[in-house]
């Protein structure tokens, strides 16, 4: 059969599917290993995917598309995007009933925390520039590398895309390499942070759950008539939210005087699917059409989506990681991940007075970290943390795109 104008074998597709399930099986086994109460969880899948991509990408290229790496990349991107849609749409449906009540109560805190985290990351990026520019032969290329590292340390695909669109064409590869180098710790760092903080602060998780659940529940008005359910699992409602989310995420807003041909901002698939699913989850119906989905179905889609997202991103990233790795760039990425989290945590705790789970939920949103939210839900033992993530995420998303572009323009 053909794919993107080329010939792809059925055996190649089978090998790709085999790769996905091998990575999943080994990754979940790795994630299950617990040391002093801390484990990688689903991030174990990401590590195994990176290693698989680093050591077996050539085998995958050969099996899938007669040695054409571009086709393998496209196939992995499809897996990654399907996973992302499943995950964020599920999160939106789960968070929807409580989201607006929580947002009304804490919206100033969520906006401030999202801004603080991203600005801290941006300033750290600028600091790394002044520390390392003396050792670089091409300062402009170094800026492109650092902005790529910033987007990777915050696991922000929109920031990555915006940076590539803003730099000169000859520096696009530097953005890509920087993003790939920092992405590994960008995922694992936040995953470990949301597990370590409750342990280091000796938090009483039962009490913390009561605090976050004390937020007023959603004020959804029940439909008085009889609701029509399309299917018993709610798959139609889920698919409708995903379709509308993709369309909303594709809307591009010009950010420069060049108009539509210049730099633009969009919610992307992540933001669009999250927004639509939040609305569906909040209202629960459109007229007599039932939009409610059983929680067990959403939990399954959420975990499946996260797994596919990490495998697609991890295998693709692993193929480039070894070739372009440079120790100092990795260090820059670690710093750009850790500093914003620490500043955000203490700002939320002592200035905004957020309870622990709202604090950590907002940090996962501020760091735009999809994998960390999945881990935090398991650590917290409640889905209510998703509301804080969903409320902070849009402001962080917009800010990181703008900050990345300003750094390129100013430096």
3-state SS, one letter per residue, for 129-177: HHHHHHHCCCHHHHHHHHHHHHHHHCCCHHHHHHHHHHCCHHHHHHHHH
Domain membership of residue 7 (yes or no) is no
User: What is the full per-residue pLDDT of the chain (411 aa) written as tens digits?
Assistant: 444 445 556 777 788 888 899 999 999 999 888 887 767 777 788 889 888 888 876 666 665 554 455 567 778 888 888 988 998 899 889 878 877 776 777 788 888 999 999 999 999 999 999 999 888 888 888 999 999 899 889 887 667 766 776 788 788 778 877 887 888 888 889 989 999 999 999 989 889 888 887 774 545 556 677 888 888 889 999 999 999 999 998 888 776 554 444 566 677 777 788 889 989 988 888 888 898 898 889 989 988 998 998 888 778 777 766 666 778 999 999 999 999 999 999 999 999 999 999 999 999 999 988 778 888 888 888 888 888 888 888 788 778 878 888 898 888
Cα angle 215-216-221, degrees, rounded to a multiple of 5 = 150
Domain membership of residue 271 (yes or no) is yes
Domain membership of residue 57 (yes or no) is no
Domain membership of residue 308 (yes or no) is no
Angle, to 10 degrees, between the axis of helix 139-153 and the axis of helix 69-132?
110
Domain membership of residue 386 (yes or no) is yes
| Per-residue pLDDT, 340 | 95
Domain membership of residue 351 (yes or no) is yes
Residue 216, number of CB atoms within 10 A of its CB: 11
| Per-residue pLDDT, 362 | 92
What does R_g of the chain's alpha carbons equal in angstroms?
21
Q: In total, how many domains does the chain have?
A: 1
pTM: 0.72
**In contact, 335 and 181? CB cutoff 8 Å:** no
Q: Which of 381, 376, 350, 378 is nearest to 363 (CA)?
A: 376
Residues 6+ apart with CB under 8 A from 175: 144, 145, 147, 148, 151, 160, 163, 164, 167
Extract the tokens encoding 141: 């290329």
Integer distance in angstroms from the first to the last C-alpha of the chain? 48
Rounded-to-integer distance, Cα 318 and Cα 57, Å: 8
Q: How far is CA 158 from CA 7, 154, 234, 351, in A?
A: 31, 10, 30, 29
Domain housing 280: 81-302+327-410
Rounded-to-integer distance, Cα 247 and Cα 244, Å: 5
| Per-residue pLDDT, 95 | 76
Domain membership of residue 49 (yes or no) is no
Rounded-to-integer distance, Cα 275 and Cα 391, Å: 10
Q: Which residue has the tokens 């539509």?
A: 260
| Per-residue pLDDT, 221 | 56
Domain membership of residue 33 (yes or no) is no
Rounded-to-integer distance, Cα 249 and Cα 92, Å: 14
| Per-residue pLDDT, 8 | 58
């Amino acid at each position: 059969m053909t794919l993107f104008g080329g010939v792809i074998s059925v055996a190649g597709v089978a090998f790709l599917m085999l790769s996905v399930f091998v990575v999943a099986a080994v990754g979940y086994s790795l994630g299950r290993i617990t040391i002093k109460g801390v484990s990688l969880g689903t991030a174990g899948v990401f590590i195994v995917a990176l290693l698989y991509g680093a050591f077996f990408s050539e085998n995958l290229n050969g099996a899938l598309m007669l040695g054409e790496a571009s086709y393998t990349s496209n196939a992995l991107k499809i897996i990654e995007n399907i996973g992302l849609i499943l995950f964020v749409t599920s999160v939106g449906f789960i968070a929807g009933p409580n989201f607006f009540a929580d947002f009304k109560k804490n919206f100033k805190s969520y906006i401030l925390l999202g801004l603080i985290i991203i600005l801290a990351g941006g300033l750290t990026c600028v600091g790394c520039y002044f520390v390392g520019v003396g050792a670089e032969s091409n300062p402009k290329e170094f800026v492109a590398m650092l902005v790529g590292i910033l987007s990777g340390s915050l696991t922000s695909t929109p920031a990555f895309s915006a940076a590539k669109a803003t730099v000169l064409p000859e520096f696009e590869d530097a953005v890509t390499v920087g993003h790939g180098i920092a992405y590994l710790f960008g995922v694992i760092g936040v995953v470990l942070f949301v597990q370590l903080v409750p342990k280091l602060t000796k938090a009483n998780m039962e009490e913390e759950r009561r605090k976050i659940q004390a937020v007023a529940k959603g004020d959804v008005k029940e439909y008085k008539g009889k609701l029509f359910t399309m299917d018993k699992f709610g798959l139609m409602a889920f698919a409708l939210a995903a379709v509308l989310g993709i369309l909303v995420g594709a809307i591009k807003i010009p950010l420069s005087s060049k108009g539509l041909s210049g730099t633009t901002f969009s919610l992307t698939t992540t933001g669009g699917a999250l927004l639509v699913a939040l609305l569906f989850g909040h209202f629960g119906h459109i007229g007599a059409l039932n939009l409610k989905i059983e929680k067990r179905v959403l939990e399954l889609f959420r975990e499946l989506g996260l797994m596919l997202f990490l495998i697609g991103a991890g295998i693709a990233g692993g193929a480039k990681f070894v070739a372009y790795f440079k120790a100092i760039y990795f260090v820059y990425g670690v710093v750009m991940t850790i500093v914003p989290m620490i500043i955000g945590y203490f700002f939320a705790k002592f200035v905004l007075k957020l309870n622990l789970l709202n604090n950590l939920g907002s940090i996962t949103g501020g760091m735009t970290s999809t994998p960390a939210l999945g881990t935090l839900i398991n650590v917290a033992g409640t889905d209510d943390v998703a509301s804080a993530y969903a409320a902070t995420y849009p402001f962080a998303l917009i800010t990181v795109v703008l900050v990345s572009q300003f750094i390129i323009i100013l430096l």
